């Protein structure tokens, strides 16, 4: 089992837009769109995420230290209790549980230690550490190598359709699911693929 993080295991309390509405009001969504595009090189460790954020903040006229904004926004992570419980139930049922997520090196380090994912997952595949990012099929091929399982034996769960497509191109089975759809649906989709977590 290979789990995405944002939108599957965790979310940002209050959402992303609210973090910038103080400065930008209704333009917060446009700012975030630009930022998420700009930060893509950080996902494969080609650039530092805070340096990119500083440039975008400057372009938008936001006078705030990039380090502080990054910590207040990108490091404000709330794991979903039901998702974490499902991961633990899958482990009790004998499945390997692994993390497959696009993250900058800074956020990955925080998730490993402060959020506690190193203790929860068998193998963690952070894109910045692999220097490959979803939806590149090469990311999933490398993840399968790290997991030490054939891609065809890995079931991937992600909230973005393009990442699901990339996983399937690499030979993995994949489920397209978001937290807002509810865990009953996810467990039904798992059961359809013969995956049954241990009881609560």
For the purposes of burial, counting CB atoms within 10 Å of the CB of 194, is it exposed (0-12), middle (13-18) or buried (19 or more)?
A: exposed
- Please say whether the beta carbons of 5 and 116 come within 8 A: no
How many C-beta atoms surround the C-beta of residue 168 within 10 A?
16
Share of the chain above pLDDT 90, in %: 91
For 132, the token pair is 């490959």
Confidence band, pLDDT 50/70/90 cuts, at residue 24: confident
* Domain spans of the chain, in order of start: 2-11+77-192, 17-73
pLDDT digits (tens, 9 = 90+) for 1-20: 999 999 999 999 988 888 88
Contacts of 88 (CB under 8 A, 6+ apart): 120
Look-up of token digits 């692999």: 130
- Please say whether the beta carbons of 166 and 134 come within 8 A: yes
Cα–Cα distance, 61 to 151 (Å, whole number): 46
pLDDT at 184: 97
Closest to 100 (Cα-Cα) out of 194, 11, 174: 174
- Whole-model pTM: value is 0.94
Q: What value does the mean pLDDT take over residues 53-82?
A: 95
pLDDT at 199: 85
Q: What value does the mean pLDDT take over residues 87-91?
A: 98
For 195, the token pair is 């995956």
Q: What value does the mean pLDDT take over residues 115-139?
A: 98
Closest to 3 (Cα-Cα) out of 131, 183, 192: 183
Q: What value does the mean pLDDT take over residues 94-100?
A: 98
What is the third-level CATH fold of 2-11+77-192?
Rossmann fold (3.40.50)
């Amino acid at each position: 089992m290979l789990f995405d993080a944002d939108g599957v295991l965790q979310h940002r309390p209050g959402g992303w837009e609210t973090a910038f509405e103080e400065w930008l009001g209704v333009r917060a969504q446009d700012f975030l769109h630009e930022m998420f595009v700009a930060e893509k090189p950080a996902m494969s460790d080609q650039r530092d995420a805070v340096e990119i954020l500083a440039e975008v903040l400057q372009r938008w006229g936001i006078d705030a230290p990039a380090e502080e904004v990054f910590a207040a926004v990108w490091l404000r992570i709330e794991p979903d209790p039901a998702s974490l419980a499902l991961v633990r139930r899958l482990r009790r049922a004998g499945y390997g549980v692994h993390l497959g997520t696009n993250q900058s090196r800074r956020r990955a380090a925080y998730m490993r230690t402060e959020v506690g994912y190193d203790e929860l997952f068998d193998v963690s595949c952070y894109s910045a550490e692999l220097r490959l990012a979803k939806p590149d099929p090469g990311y999933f091929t490398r993840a399968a190598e790290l997991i030490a399982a054939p891609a065809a034996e890995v079931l991937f769960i992600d909230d973005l359709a393009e990442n699901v497509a990339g996983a399937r191109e690499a030979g993995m089975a994949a489920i397209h699911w978001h937290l807002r759809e509810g865990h009953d649906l996810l467990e039904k989709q798992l059961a359809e693929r013969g995956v049954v977590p241990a009881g609560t």
